[in-house]
Amino acid sequence: MPHPVPRPEHPRPQFVRADWLNLNGNWQFETDRGDSGLERGLVGRELAGEITVPFCPESSLSGVGDTDFLTAVWYRRDVELPADWAGRRTLLHFGAVDHDATVWVDGTEVGRHRGGFTGFTVDLTDVATPGETATIVVRARDPRTGPQARGKQSTRYANHDCDYTRTTGIWQTVWLEPVPQVHLRRPRITPDLAGSAFEVVLPLSANRSGYRVRATLADADGTVALADAAADLDLAPRLRLAVPEERRRVWQPGDPHLYQLRLELLDAAGAVVDTADSYAGLRSVSIDGTAVRLNGAPVFQRLVLDQGYYADGILTAPDDAALVRDIELSMAAGFNGARLHQKVFEERFLYHADRLGYLVWGEFGDWGCNGYGPDGDNQRPDASYVAQWLEALERDHSHPSIVGWCPLNETWQRRTDRITVLDDVTRAMYLATKLADPSRPVLDASGYSHRVPAADVYDSHNYTQDPATFTAEVVDGFPYTNPGGEQAGSWSLPYAGQPYFVSEFGGIWWNPDAGEDEYSWGYGERPSTVEEFHQRFEGLVGALLADPRMFGYCYTQLTDVFQEQNGVYRFDRTVKPGVDMDRLRAAQQQPAASETGA
């Protein structure tokens, strides 16, 4: 009996065509620790082992479970292209491959991509024929050294501190999709709450005389709005879908209303040649002084740090239900959103956040560039950081659950009288974000090295455990800025009056069931009782909720991750001994001063 396809759901729920083929499952696999596979002929021969895609070879779900350094890995699979795809172009999509990928089909190189957090697509039309079998070969290189956006992946053999088991190679869904010769590309959907409308930009693969694009917005009662435009003048036609007042319903926590959206490309005779289904949420994010408002109203962002790790899948959720469960567990503890930390989460997480009314900040996994220069110029992010971040922004722009962007995290470097690589890249990523998406606030770097003058948002990280001391530092000593080097504040430009929040705090080390010899850590001294844990949690969140200058916070963290055992839940998502979720939720649900105007 054939094994079911793992992760069978459509990986791109905001741009769905009816025809597609999931390539997850069994692939041939071989490690290549010396990165000599090309010279040894691995492109053209059978591989020695097997792996279950989309799980990385370090994970148990992959069937490999090799956690040593994998300089390069190879994949191979024969795929029969459906015969009824004839006459259309065949696209091969990779959700994410860590880190440098090369793809061959029937021995011909068809594409390359750098970056472990974002996807890419190659066109197989000229090398693969519908109705016939094509052999797909993928090599992924993942060097141990050198500046590279790794997120929390350990560069030592073992996990340590807050670095964890590595991910190499394919770790998100691989799939095929047939598209017309001239076809729609991914739309950019931007809500205009003030104008009660959606702006839809529909990029096209090419223009053809007489072609048109059409968009239909609908809710449970039927069509809400319809718009069309010529598709032979602009490479990315723009449509405006006006929502009548009687059909207007905003997207917000507690009522995450989503409109359905159908996108069509029509030929000169009016026949539909390409169709894709999407959805959209009507909401706004704005800044008023130090307040960040959602739909014009103050909504305190009670965020949790979510690192998106799983004991069996590493960076890949074991199934779609696990993504939903993480959001539900967070909401059960009283959080209304998350900072998606040091990882570009798979798109289905954002889909579920959209459905469930869960606020998220998108972040890039930038760790991995420190220590490659002298003091004062020690961090060397390269051009690939900007390229990958732009790919993430393009993919995720249309998700209403995203309420802010954070390109960098805890970049620490002493400020001198010289402009450094970190200065350049921080500014480049900030400006790229604002250019790609002016509709959301942008935090130049979470905690530590704020390098962009008057960035939209300012923040700090503070893991002081005693609530009284924490209050003195963060509230009484406002604005708290992370110190750097010998001179306080030398990592960052000074606070300039922007909206402010503490984007990392807590990390309470509560793990009473950890073994005596188990490697375990959290922040500060671990509580001696569960009552002490609750009182510490209540005191820390209470201090921030009571400060009218705070628009939100982010508590570390949702779950334990390997040795970092300071989560609200265990790594397996079960409740820790004695923890009362009703009590945690009650502590967070007390009104925030910034919401009440107190």
Look at residue 281 in the predicted model and tell me its pLDDT: 98
Q: Does this model's pTM top 0.85?
A: yes
Average pLDDT over residues 148-152: 94
- Establish how many alpha carbons lie within 13 A of residue 331's alpha carbon, considering only the half-sphere containing its beta carbon: 16
Distance of CA 365 to the CA centre of its chain: 9
Using alpha carbons, list the distances in angstroms from residue 551 to 286, 332, 463, 482, 595. Answer: 12, 21, 19, 19, 8
C-beta of residue 508 within 8 angstroms of C-beta of residue 464: no
Taking the C-alpha atoms of residue 172 and residue 156, their distance in angstroms, rounded to an integer, is: 24
- Give the pLDDT confidence of 327-365 residue by residue, as tens digits: 999 999 999 999 999 999 999 999 999 999 999 999 999
Q: Is residue 233 predicted with pLDDT exceeding 90?
A: yes
pLDDT in tens, 4-25: 899 999 999 999 999 999 999 9
Looking only at the bridges linking them, the beta strands covering 402-406 and 359-363 are parallel
Q: Report strand pairing: 550-556 vs 301-306.
A: parallel
**pLDDT tens per residue across span 445-485:** 998 899 999 899 999 999 999 999 999 999 999 999 998 65
CB 432 within 8 A of CB 386: yes
In this prediction, residue 140 has a pLDDT band, given cuts at 50, 70 and 90, of very high
Cα separation, 158 vs 588, whole angstroms: 36
Tokens representing 582?
Answer: 């009703």
Burial 419-445 (b: 16+ CB within 10 A, else e): ebbbbebbbbbbebbbebbeebbbbbb
- Please give the full DSSP string across 384-403, using - where no structure is assigned: HHHHHHHHHHHHHTT-TTEE
**Considering all CA atoms of the chain, what is the largest pairwise distance in Å, rounded to the nearest integer?**
75
And the tokens for 336?
Answer: 């209304």
pLDDT at 3: 65
357-387: per-residue pLDDT in tens? 999 999 999 999 998 888 888 999 999 999 9
The CA-CA-CA angle for residues 452, 457, 363, to 5°, reads 85
- CA distance from start to end of the chain: 64
Alpha carbons 492 and 448: distance in angstroms, whole number: 6
Residue 488: pLDDT band with limits 50, 70, 90: very low
Average pLDDT over residues 126-144: 96
- Per residue in 560-583, pLDDT (tens digit) is 999 999 999 999 999 999 999 999
Give me the pLDDT at residue 2, please.
54
Task: Compute the average pLDDT of residues 382-394.
Answer: 96
Return the sign of the alpha-carbon dihedral for residues 559, 300, 345, 351. Answer: positive
Residue 136: pLDDT above 70?
yes
